[in-house]
Amino acid sequence: MPVTWTPPGIPRALPWANQSLAREFVLLGFTHVPALRPLLASLFLAMFLLTLLGNALIVLLTSLDSALRAPMYFFLRQLALVEICFSLDIVPRLLMTLLRPGRGVSPAGCALQLLLVLSCVTSECFLLTAMAWDRYVAICRPLRYGAIMSARLCHLLVAACWLAGVPVSLVFTLWLFHFPFCGPHSIHHFFCDIAPLLSLVCADTRVFETNVLVATVLVMIVPFCLIATSYTKILTTVLRMPSATGRHKALSTCASHLIVVTLFYSTTGVIHLQPKASYSPESKQVVSLSYTLVTPMLNPLIYSLQNKEVKAALGRVCVQRRVTHIP
């Protein structure tokens, strides 16, 4: 009989194949404040709609306006698509939890949500790195920018960013859901994430946690170091520019990206660098809200308010629509 390899400390059967293990999970996110559930549901729905509208507008503008065909806007469009996928994965389940508390989630559904969360977070890390490198080439190698940032290279970078999250998310999702889940299968969170699921596992997870930490360093810290290196070189180049106008113009093209990077890493790092940290469930939920709802909603606003080209493109689209509606 052939022997299949299984990571240490993991049973060979999936939990949902074993009737004695978890048959469904119950998400408890924000259900501890029943009086606020309708208000929170309304607030989160409004944020969700703004997120979809803002990011869809970024996708539309960068696809239709000929002035937004530079690689920077191509990467921005991909970032908006990631945010849309991320929001669609998180918010509908959150609204269902608030409006119909106690409704169970199948292990397969929970695993799918975790798979998409990890994949989107990983893709966003690499996309932000690609955007930082694009700014580095534009400012530090302006004469070679067109030759380096070719359409072929941009498409290859984007494909790599999207696909990079697949093996990471697939491995850790399958690994985590091979563990047995014991006791009441209540997840003290508003979506299926590694940390709350680990608290339900009744097995030795030290090997798993070590590998999660290593993967987090590779997926988050290494790209962050590359981003920091890019901006260190950008700042050095900008400070050497003789013109104050040139310095301001160069830095203004980086401002939006720097704000987005700061928002992303200041929230996701707190959660994912310590998968089994001793934060309270409530504090984890608040921090998670910031990168699952707030940041995807703010990103389009940040880029549209900070970027003159995006604002100009929005104005042109509005004028064209107004003209087409004039009888």
pLDDT, tens digit, for every residue of 264-296?
888 777 666 655 555 566 777 887 888 889 999
- pLDDT bin (cut points 50, 70, 90) of residue 12 is very low
Question: What number is the average pLDDT over the span 204-228?
Answer: 91
Q: What is the pLDDT of residue 124?
A: 93
Question: What number is the average pLDDT over the span 126-150?
Answer: 93
Residue 324 forms part of a structural domain = no
Amino acid type, 303? Y
Give pTM, 2 decimals.
0.85
Name residues whose C-beta falls within 8 Å of residue 45's C-beta, 6 or more positions apart in sequence: 91, 95
Q: Domain range spanning residue 42? A: 15-314
Residue pointed to by tokens 């160069």: 250
Residue pointed to by tokens 């047995």: 180
Q: Highest-confidence range of 68-72, 113-117, 238-242, by mean pLDDT?
A: 113-117
Percent above pLDDT 70 for the chain: 85
Residue 148 has pLDDT above 60, yes or no: yes
Nearest 10 degrees: CA dihedral of 56, 62, 65, 71?
180
**H or E stretch including 35?**
none
CATH number at residue 260: 1.20.1070.10
Q: What is the pLDDT of residue 268?
A: 79
Q: What is the pLDDT of residue 32?
A: 75
Q: What is the pLDDT of residue 324?
A: 53
Distance CA 115, CA 54 (A): 25
Q: What is the total count of domains within the chain?
A: 1
pLDDT, tens digit, for every residue of 218-231?
998 899 999 999 99
CB crowding 292-311: b at 16 or more within 10 Å, else e: bbebbbbbbebbbebbebbe
Amino acid type, 114? L
DSSP string covering 88-157, please?
HHHHHHHHHHHHSTT-EE-HHHHHHHHHHHHHHHHHHHHHHHHHHHHHHHHHHSGGGHHHHS-HHHHHHH
CB atoms within 10 A of CB 175: 18
Residue 9 forms part of a structural domain = no
Question: What number is the average pLDDT over the span 120-147?
Answer: 93
Residue 319 forms part of a structural domain = no
Residue 81 has pLDDT above 50, yes or no: yes
Task: Record the tokens describing residue 72, joined without a space.
Answer: 């920077």
Residue 10 forms part of a structural domain = no
Distance CA 109, CA 116 (A): 11
Residue 325 forms part of a structural domain = no
Residue 320 forms part of a structural domain = no
Q: What is the pLDDT of residue 28?
A: 87
Q: What is the pLDDT of residue 272?
A: 65
Q: What is the pLDDT of residue 199?
A: 85
- pLDDT bin (cut points 50, 70, 90) of residue 87 is very high
Distance CA 231, CA 236 (A): 8
Residue 4 forms part of a structural domain = no
Distance CA 262, CA 181 (A): 35
Task: Record the tokens describing residue 277, joined without a space.
Answer: 């940290």
- Residue 135's alpha-carbon distances to 88, 102, 131, 138, in angstroms, are 29, 47, 6, 5
Q: What is the pLDDT of residue 270?
A: 67
Residue 321 has pLDDT above 70, yes or no: no
Residue 306 forms part of a structural domain = yes
Judged by phi (left if over 0) then psi (alpha if -120 to 50, else beta), residue 105 lies in beta
Between 31 and 39, residue with greater pLDDT: 39
Q: What is the pLDDT of residue 211?
A: 93
